[in-house]
Structure 1
Amino acid sequence: MLAGVIDEDVVYAAMESRDPRFDGWFYVAVATTGVYCRPSCPAVMPRRRNIRLFPSAAAAQVNGYRACRRCRPDAAPGSPEWNARGDLVARAMRLIADGLVDREGVAGLAARLGYSERQVHRLLAAEVGAGPQALARAQRAQSARTLLECTRLPISDVAFAAGFASIRQFNDTIQQIYATTPTSLRQATSASRRGDRAPARGHGGPGAVPGVIALRLSFRPPLDVPALLRHLGARAVPGIEEYAEGTYRRSLRLPHGAGVVALRAAADHVACELHLEDLRDLTAAVRRCRGLLDLNADQQAIDAFLGADPVLGPLVAARPGLRVPGHADPAELTVRAVLSRRVPAGRVRARLADLVTAHGRRLAAPVGGVTHTFPGMATLAGAGSALPPERRPTLLALAEAVAGGAILLDAGADPRHARKQLLDLPGMRPREAAYIIMRALGDPDVFIPDLNVRRALHHLRARPGRWGPWNSYATQHLWALADSLR
């Protein structure tokens, strides 16, 4: 779907079929009820003349609509448009989703993007229907709802953990968006769960663990979640990652502290359990988990495009829903990419584990085999002789550039600019830079013609096709074929 263009015929057809593929792409408000919904909402179909369309939940809220209590549109999968695009609006949306406005305000967002506050507000309002404050406010409301439903924190603590500046602001926002009070919202959730046989940990039931939040991560099917978690588990670095009995765990370095996430497959979602040192990191932690599993991808559109290609079609049919795994820690991924040059995977993991043991931060409360966070770039820049000698110049230059802010690899980075900066580092190879951009920044259009890709293409007796803007997914399919050939 094109930015700023919403075909009402497509919308109404999606609503009639309750098609979840469009959830997060746009939001449908009903003028007669004052409620906005996902396109897949199971409620009675409104008359066509009564619907109003909005490109974001915040835009619907700015126009006076409140969130539907049945379909919970504020918790829909994020729009895949922001992952596929690298322009200013997309970068701003990713930074807002990472909680930057809550931490540094609109001034911090504008400074990070290199534009004035007025220009950022104008561009966001024109394309998304709401300014940065409204978008951040909608996100704070969703974080607050999660904390109200999934913890037993006092309501005043929920307000500040979600990023609100005052209790009054918190109460007013919940009333406007959900048409209820925070206390009533929590009581309604408790009442709906009284019949549950086994309440989830962290939901406020007996035995709930402080600082632990259990929630669902939604996605657009198809997605083989167990296979994706096994893929991550097979490459796990001891100390910071662990895979056991279908659950993948890893540590997170977050703006206000550390955390550990446990991910496992469920019926129609990914079950996520977050152990956070500081609950203000909820928004950032959720965004990192979604990026790690590529949960915002419009996978049916990607598979339809690549599946029509004569070379990739059979591969897509064999592995529908194959995602591009992201990464929860760009710094960690960059070090891993540099160390992986002509080195067996097992040895790379051993080297990373040594760095974690020597320079990582030990968690105050380890979870299973996850005991540390990966060392930050400032720490690695000072490690000197402790770094592997054959990659030391590249690693030191990389660590100093990222720690000093010369190279940005966060949610708001421009992939093309970051790739050029990486290639300017001494010893950085194009394959490594491309791999970092693909996984750390989630660029969907990176083709990596390495040995494995060439082996797969040789087996298929084919050449690279015109697979943009989904070259990253094409590369994943070719890598999977190369793995199966081995």
Structure 2
Amino acid sequence: MIDVEAVREAMRSRDPRFDGWVYVAVTTTGVYCRPSCPAVMPARRNVRLFRSAAAAQVNGFRACKRCRPDAAPGSPEWNVRGDLAARAMRLIADGLVDRVGVAGLAARLGYSERQLYRLLVAEVGAGPQAIARAQRAHTARTLLESTGLPVSDIAFAAGFTSIRQFNETIRQLYATTPTRLRRPGAPRGALGAVALRLSYRPPLDVAALLRYLGTRAVPGVEEYTDGVYRRSLRLPHGTGVVSFRHVPGADHVACELHLDDPRDLTAAVRRCRRMLDLDADQRAIDAFLGADPVLGTLVAARPGLRVPGHPDPGEAAVRTVLSRRSTADRARGHLTRLVAAHGRRLPAPVGRVTHTFPDMASLACAGSALPAHRRPTMLALAEALAREEIVLDAGADPEHVRKQLLDLPGMGRLDVAHIRMRALGDPDVFIPDIRVRRVLYRLRAEPGPWRPWRSYATQHLWTTSADRL
């Protein structure tokens, strides 16, 4: 249920913390906004509240041109929950409906289309097709504003099946035409780099987050130079390279995407957001953990500490297995050799990013090229992922995946915990490895009641451990 009084107070104070959680529609104007929209506050009788942008659109409202509610940070609820609705929302955000349709989404989740529709309408006020439609419109708007692609190409790149459907959707949702959405001075011609602003809920130390990723960069796949972190992406229709840059004083991360195929924009953006943990409700997390007697001082020292995810769950799993029981330098050396031998060279390298990480089918055939100390486990993992016996994606059930991974030879509980945290973005994983145990021993403390944010508690303990080295 939506707390109407809390939303009214957020509207009065222009509180951006509610952006993405709830959408405010005004019946007299036919427009829906963020709660923080700077427009004149409407009368209570003229306001309707919705759980999603898609629900507001289904009910006939169009996006506000001033606050752009369709570009608000996503609801953190879908990343925290592991139920069917949350898994469906994550898969839709990854562009699955555009690739395989609602029938494919339902099959992936093991439910009928009718069951899935009823559940999502009850949860967010719109069915899977309407949610995907809202997402397609936002992707189209991004491409119109930041690229020089012809409008007809943008329509199909965003996932629309016809130009007519595209034009009607843009007119309904934005009260304008696709051509008028183009910004003055926008580039013309072929697809180049797509410049985006990835919004987030403060606080977040972007520079520290990018440094964290940069210190673990694998040459060829990643690089970190002059505060810019860059890496390659394997996407549904091709490959890409993403660059992240900190913008001091801003509430967004500057992102630049180089894509082989513009149809991959939706999936690329979603994976980048999960990689940087940008949809987290960080104030709520910090308030909860900051009240803990053990973690309070650690949280106060690093407000906004995120739990980095990964854009390629298979790669994250392989890197986790290889890094366990090995030094960081040794693991990086093994990974660099694997990339050189089995990675795919990018058609257009960007900086020192020249390859994608090897796909699972290639690793399953790597044999003696894999490090001997973890070869059986890595081969079993790569084969299971290549055959889709184990599926690591936005719709995976963390508990089911945990049981499957533990059945693999040589796979330990700490390995599985790392994979759940990094590959699946599970916010409630405690990893009592040697670094965590040493910090707790130094603090003369025991693990506390940190659910449902144990992944963030672990990240704080790891960071504290690294500061002591």
**TM-score, reference length from structure 2:** 0.98
2:429 pairs with one of 446, 461, 473: 446
Counterpart residue type for residue 253 of structure 1: R
1:419 to partner: Cα distance: 1.1
The 8 Å contact of residues 361 and 374 in structure 1, kept in 2 or not, is answered as: yes
1:335 to partner: Cα distance: 1.0
1:361 to partner: Cα distance: 0.3
Once residues 107 and 232 of structure 2 are traced to their aligned partners in structure 1, the CA distance between those partners, rounded to angstroms, is: 29
Aligned to 1:112: 108
Counterpart residue type for residue 135 of structure 1: I
Spell out the pairing of 1:392-407 with structure 2 (5 A cutoff).
392-407=375-390
Once residues 425 and 12 of structure 2 are traced to their aligned partners in structure 1, the CA distance between those partners, rounded to angstroms, is: 33
1:268 to partner: Cα distance: 2.1
Unaligned runs of 5+ in 2: none
Aligned to 1:251: 232
The 8 Å contact of residues 221 and 355 in structure 2, kept in 1 or not, is answered as: yes
Alignment of 1:213 with 2:194, yes or no, is: yes
Aligned to 1:79: 75
Q: C-alpha offsets along residues 321-341 of structure 1, whole Å, 9 cap, x if unaligned?
A: 000000111111111111112
Alignment of 1:229 with 2:186, yes or no, is: no
Alignment of 1:12 with 2:13, yes or no, is: no
The 8 Å contact of residues 191 and 262 in structure 2, kept in 1 or not, is answered as: no
The 8 Å contact of residues 211 and 279 in structure 1, kept in 2 or not, is answered as: no
Q: C-alpha offsets along residues 219-254 of structure 1, whole Å, 9 cap, x if unaligned?
A: 000000000000000000000000000100000000
1:345 pairs with one of 328, 332, 335: 328
Structure 1 stretch 341-350 or stretch 129-138: which is displaced more?
341-350
Aligned to 1:146: 142
Once residues 462 and 12 of structure 2 are traced to their aligned partners in structure 1, the CA distance between those partners, rounded to angstroms, is: 39
Counterpart residue type for residue 75 of structure 1: A
1:286 to partner: Cα distance: 0.2
Once residues 391 and 242 of structure 1 are traced to their aligned partners in structure 2, the CA distance between those partners, rounded to angstroms, is: 26
What is the RMSD computed on CA atoms of the aligned residues? 1.0
Alignment of 1:284 with 2:267, yes or no, is: yes
Q: C-alpha offsets along residues 381-432 of structure 1, whole Å, 9 cap, x if unaligned?
A: 1112211122111011101111111111101000111111111100001001
Counterpart residue type for residue 423 of structure 1: L
1:485 to partner: Cα distance: 1.8
- For 1:16, what is the secondary structure of its paired residue? helix
Spell out the pairing of 1:97-136 with structure 2 (5 A cutoff).
97-136=93-132
Q: C-alpha offsets along residues 159-190 of structure 1, whole Å, 9 cap, x if unaligned?
A: 0000000000000000000000101111xx22
Counterpart residue type for residue 478 of structure 1: L
Once residues 365 and 19 of structure 1 are traced to their aligned partners in structure 2, the CA distance between those partners, rounded to angstroms, is: 43
Once residues 231 and 180 of structure 2 are traced to their aligned partners in structure 1, the CA distance between those partners, rounded to angstroms, is: 35
Counterpart residue type for residue 34 of structure 2: R
Spell out the pairing of 1:19-58 with structure 2 (5 A cutoff).
19-58=15-54
Alignment of 1:293 with 2:276, yes or no, is: yes
Once residues 170 and 365 of structure 2 are traced to their aligned partners in structure 1, the CA distance between those partners, rounded to angstroms, is: 46
Counterpart residue type for residue 363 of structure 1: L
The 8 Å contact of residues 148 and 190 in structure 2, kept in 1 or not, is answered as: no
Counterpart residue type for residue 444 of structure 1: P
Once residues 18 and 413 of structure 1 are traced to their aligned partners in structure 2, the CA distance between those partners, rounded to angstroms, is: 36
1:96 pairs with one of 92, 98, 106: 92
Counterpart residue type for residue 428 of structure 1: M
Unaligned runs of 5+ in 1: 195-202
Once residues 381 and 482 of structure 1 are traced to their aligned partners in structure 2, the CA distance between those partners, rounded to angstroms, is: 35
Once residues 293 and 376 of structure 2 are traced to their aligned partners in structure 1, the CA distance between those partners, rounded to angstroms, is: 43
Aligned to 2:418: 435
Once residues 211 and 252 of structure 1 are traced to their aligned partners in structure 2, the CA distance between those partners, rounded to angstroms, is: 16
Once residues 323 and 251 of structure 2 are traced to their aligned partners in structure 1, the CA distance between those partners, rounded to angstroms, is: 35
Alignment of 1:239 with 2:220, yes or no, is: yes
* Superposed structure 1 runs of 4+ greater than 4 Å apart: none
The 8 Å contact of residues 310 and 422 in structure 2, kept in 1 or not, is answered as: yes
Counterpart residue type for residue 298 of structure 2: L
Aligned to 1:388: 371
Once residues 405 and 275 of structure 1 are traced to their aligned partners in structure 2, the CA distance between those partners, rounded to angstroms, is: 28
Once residues 252 and 432 of structure 1 are traced to their aligned partners in structure 2, the CA distance between those partners, rounded to angstroms, is: 23
Alignment of 1:363 with 2:346, yes or no, is: yes
**TM-score, reference length from structure 1:** 0.95
The 8 Å contact of residues 414 and 433 in structure 2, kept in 1 or not, is answered as: yes
- For 1:343, what is the secondary structure of its paired residue? coil
Once residues 7 and 377 of structure 2 are traced to their aligned partners in structure 1, the CA distance between those partners, rounded to angstroms, is: 50
Counterpart residue type for residue 191 of structure 2: P
